[in-house]
Amino acid sequence: LPARFDWRDKAVVAPVQNQQACGSCWAFSVVGAMQSVHAIDGSQLAQLSVQQVLDCSFQNEGCNGGSPLRALNWLKQTKVKLVSQSEYPYKAKTGICHFFSQSHGGVALKNFTTHYFSGQEEAMKGQLVEHGPLAAIVDAVSWQDYLGGIIQHHCSSQRSNHAVLVVGYDTTGDIPYWIVQNSWGTTWGNEGYVYIKIGGNICGIADSVAAVFL
């Protein structure tokens, strides 16, 4: 594996989004993974509709919260095609699901894997390089005060409450770290990104990690 790998260098990661005052991180992480893998597979990088997942993934609760796994199961079972963000824009509140005809263009999820990588973050790096950006859940309580740098302490695992997108890693410095895209806008953290030390399952980054297949 390379010492440093970042899918942003390959122009397959969409810009940082802002979920605003809506608990929709779970939808942002899943859609972020799908639009990146769609671009890695050779399509033009296009932003897909988070609002469609928010409104239509009925096992989840829209702005009141949800689970990336339940959203992925819904996408896989229904074979719903995610339409572009411009067709079904984000409103930061839960709305009525809009349905589209089967002939309507969009991106469908074929399959996904999800694993617990604690103690195996080296293998998680391999998954990232092999399958593209990964949807992960974390404990982000201390992120309320985060300004930047590499998180190494006081961030528990096994108490996940937030969903993010792992887009890369960098092990060239003294502290190896994951490069993680958040959905709180570009004014938070490192222009919308957070760096988490690799090893020790900091913030629970390795608790439940999903790769998507289109």
Partner 1 sequence: EAHSEEYNLRHLHFQNATKRHAYLNAFSTAPQSAKYGINQFSDLSQKEFRDLYLRASADRAPLFPGLKRTETER
22 labelled catalytic: no
Burial classification of residue 111, based on how many CB atoms lie within 10 Å of its CB (0-12 exposed, 13-18 middle, 19 or more buried): exposed
- Tell whether the torsion through CA atoms of 57, 61, 64 and 69 is positive or negative: negative
List the Cα angle 139/28/30 in 5-degree steps: 90
Single-letter residue type at 200: G
Tell me whether residue 123 or residue 129 sits nearer to partner 1 (CB atom).
123
Q: Does 172 bind partner 1 (CB under 8 A)?
A: no
Tell me whether residue 103 or residue 144 sits nearer to partner 1 (CB atom).
144
- Closest of 200, 41, 206, 194 to residue 109, by C-alpha: 41
- Closest of 5, 7, 213 to residue 113, by C-alpha: 213
Q: Does 119 bind partner 1 (CB under 8 A)?
A: yes
Tokens of residue 181, six digits: 């895209």
Q: Does 63 bind partner 1 (CB under 8 A)?
A: yes
Tell me whether residue 83 or residue 124 sits nearer to partner 1 (CB atom).
124
Active-site hit among 60, 155, 162, 201 = 162
Burial classification of residue 130, based on how many CB atoms lie within 10 Å of its CB (0-12 exposed, 13-18 middle, 19 or more buried): exposed
- Near partner 1 by CB under 8 A: residue from 7, 14, 16, 23: 23
Q: Does 151 bind partner 1 (CB under 8 A)?
A: yes
Longest CA span, the chain: 52
- Near partner 1 by CB under 8 A: residue from 36, 195, 201, 205: 195
Q: Does 92 bind partner 1 (CB under 8 A)?
A: no
Active-site hit among 25, 56, 155, 203 = 25
In whole angstroms, how close is the CB of 177 to partner 1 at the nearest point?
A: 8
Tell me whether residue 82 or residue 211 sits nearer to partner 1 (CB atom).
211
**Residue written as token pair 């004014």:** 187
Please list the active-site residues.
Answer: 25, 162, 182
Residues that bind partner 1 (CB under 8 A): 19, 21, 23-26, 29, 63-70, 114-117, 119-120, 123-124, 127, 137, 140-142, 144-154, 160-163, 173-175, 184-185, 187-188, 195, 204, 207-210
